[in-house]
Structure 1
Amino acid sequence: MRNVGTTHEGREIMALRFTNPTPAASTNATLPKKQVYVQGGIHAREWISHATTQYIAYHLATSDDRKITTLLDEAEIVLVPVVNPDGYVYTWSGDRLWRKNRRADARGAFGVDLNRNYPSHWGEAGSSKFPYSETYMGPSAASEPEVQASMAVFNSLPRAVAALDLHAYSQLILRPVGWTRKYQLHEAQHAAVGDAMAKIIKNVHGKDYISEREIDLYPVSASATDWWYEQSRPLKNLLGDKDVVQAEGEAMKKKKHKKPLPPGHGTIFRPYSYTIELRPSSEWWGPGFVLDKREIIPTGEEILPAFLYFARTAIENVLTE
């Protein structure tokens, strides 16, 4: 997809799309493909998130593992490896621990926290109005070109059933939402998938990841994860010319669902939506954002199977309401 947006400093934001031609023998050959969105590098200093999105991209492009090839037969994966290229370049040339983008403020301040700039409860808990703060929310919701670009990519995916934002650090799998303690409609489904991903990760290199709600870590508003979850779409987007009730009946026969949705319900869907905070763990004496390069490949090795489970679960068990 190449250039999907341009930063304050004129750099391109790139997106990649991965899929296979649908096999002619597939039972889903007449249905439009479901879509999964992944992004990394929204916070400049979190280098392992940039590397892990690229690790996923590499394996989607080159692997003959059946879990990957069959997923790409049935779905499209769209991935933005580096949401914040200006900030990332600055961590190499200026401040290694720089977090924000590089918006220049008239008062001499730089940067907006892009993960406090999405139009989802913008300006509420967990963000700052102070331009020098690391959690500065920006002058208005979705004011930043990087956020606008990532939103535009997601909005171009009418069948997106899952979205994932890779961050660092603390080894956490965070589900919506961050702005209220009220449990969301799909809390049970989100919790089950998050818990399963944590087990998959631990089975690779023994690393413990905690699955929890965003709000249980700390209050966050205007994050990508929460904005994605709010984006409901008509269920008919996933069904082509099929009627919703007809499709649910067919799914029941194939045992994809335990029971059909009652009439008058299940007309919209939402994406499974997560933030994963990658290595290292949160011990104060640990390396923090400056992770040893020897941990790049092991991090990718433990996240890839969790991602594949996440994507497969989302396309087979859509969040409807």
Structure 2
Amino acid sequence: MKISEIARDAQVTTKAIRYYESLGLLAPARLGNGYRDYSAEDVRRAREIRELNRLGIPVERTRPFLECLEVGHAHADDCPSSLAGYRAAIDELTSWIDALTERRAVLVQRLRHAAARNFPLQPDDLEAIDMTDVHELPANLPVPEDDGAADHLPGMAVPTIELAGSTGETVPLHALGEGRHVLYVFPLIGTPDADLPDGWDNIPGARGCTPEACDFRDHYEDLIAAGAAGVFGMSLQEAGYLRGVAERLRLPYAMLADTGFRLAETMGLPTFQAGGKRFYRRHTLIIREGRIEHVFYPIFPPNEHAQQVLTWLREHPLEAAPRRPGR
């Protein structure tokens, strides 16, 4: 068998065959004219070398496997020396994985720090940032339609559930106290270091969580004056992440983490799927004395939603609006 033929049958290059020979891993016979004559056994050995190398074992370290074949074993890894070769390769890969994981962690940290320096509303450069940028939304966003997913909520009692908040405290939604409490629910707040799911802008009602949060921030005092005893945001994101969001956006209210969709499961709150994951649909609950008094759904545009809530509060005043704690 010629070198071109063994290279074809073993699915390697002729250069690779010559390299195997130079290491003594292949030893073809010689014809009378001096040409190499490769055998079916040489093809088998070349294939074994190729496969082991594909798994990360250097060509130079395949010798114990080939020697296992030479002594008559059916498989190249039937010998103890072969198993030792596997272990050595695994240990080396583990070392690489650890080093790459550490390098990745450093890169992620640097990315987050770099992103945070340029994220809107940093305390150190608050005065230098154009406050209107965070309110801007892409043009031609699809408008969500009312699919009836929230029709059952008005009048429903809030279940006994406590959620972790961005302030470090646990908030009992069933026992918020007297007065009206605004709970706006949103899908996802991203940061410059994290990509949004593919097609996010094409999902009606998905885009606009940061503008919405900032709209509630900017009208927080007005909402309290109009009779809201408290304002909360809520999503599936973890409390620690939301804490960072609240700090960057300088939010005067707590963000709540419903990571297990506990409210969705107990109350049937509207959700949707994107990128293989589940998210809350944007909606807002007015909670009064442990029950849902009013629901805003669907919501559009999100960057004006706090003003929509403010208008409703002013049009539906309580007989004795609760005073803001501490005043």
| Structure having the larger proportion of residues in helix | 2
TM-score normalised to structure 2 length: 0.26
Structure ID, larger Rg: 2
TM-score normalised to structure 1 length: 0.27
| Structure having the larger proportion of residues in strand | 1
